[in-house]
Structure 1
Amino acid sequence: MTALPTPQQPVTVRAFVQRLSATPRAARLARHLALSQLRAWGIPYGTDASDSVGIVVAELAANAVTHGRVPGRDFELRLSLVTGSVRVEVTDTLGDRRPPAPGEVAAPADPLDESGRGLLLVDAVADRWEVLEREPPGKTVRAEIDLPGWAVLWR
């Protein structure tokens, strides 16, 4: 007679990592993947948190593709649930072009410019963000979006 298997608790993954080619199509895909992952974690599409994460991922991925691209190298999207917030990290492989730090981001000189507002959006939407050096050369831009009442998601 064989023993019955012991019931297993479901495994909850609270981190998501994806490497993407440094192309505009992959930058759009990063946003879609992030919103899909949030839904899997119980954060519905269209909520303030989901919208904020979508904006941050879209802007950081677009920056990685536009300003941090090294031909033949990918960028990385990392999402994780940390205590009370969603952490978004986008890493590229270009180390010599460092974006401005929080509090140093300025609006474009010409208000009609079509670019130059990405980090302004990140600064406005994220609760915290920073730029980190990485080895080998490159940088990671990390932003956090707070989740009021997040503990309810993980009971």
Structure 2
Amino acid sequence: MKAFTFRLETLLHLREMAKDKAIAEYGVAIRHREESEKLLDQGHRALDDLKQEIGLRRTVGFSGSEQEPYNRSINHAKERIIDLNARVQEARKVEDFKRNQFLETDSSFKSLLKLKEKQKEEHLEHESKKEERELGDVIGARFVFNKASSN
């Protein structure tokens, strides 16, 4: 029986490498999005802390001149939240792109792998039938030889 060789083995290997690279990039994109969301949560907590501190100071007496730095801090915190929100949205877009890229490369790899398996099955079936024919020829030749030698 002849050994099976897949002529597109190199292409299969390249597609597998591309799939591995795509999944690594997807993982990096997920981590970046999670870090961006964590920073956004920290920004929200900082704003809430500022508002809570202003509320506490107002109960004790809070002059207008003391309130101005807190107002600037609140405005700065809100601007930071807007910026971080934009970063999170961008990170989500990148993550979606990388996920789609991974799915495409994975699909491409799997389709080529299925082709390899199909060709291997066809090869084994062809070789098996070939061996059966050869075995039948040998048995037939022995039968003819035994019949001829017995006469």
Smaller-chain TM-score range?
under 0.3
Higher relative contact order (CA 8 A, sep 6+): 2
Q: What TM-score comes out, normalization by structure 2 length? A: 0.25
Q: More helix by proportion, 1 or 2?
A: 2
The TM-score normalised by the length of structure 1 is 0.24
Larger radius of gyration: 2
Please state which structure has a larger fraction of its residues in strand. Answer: 1
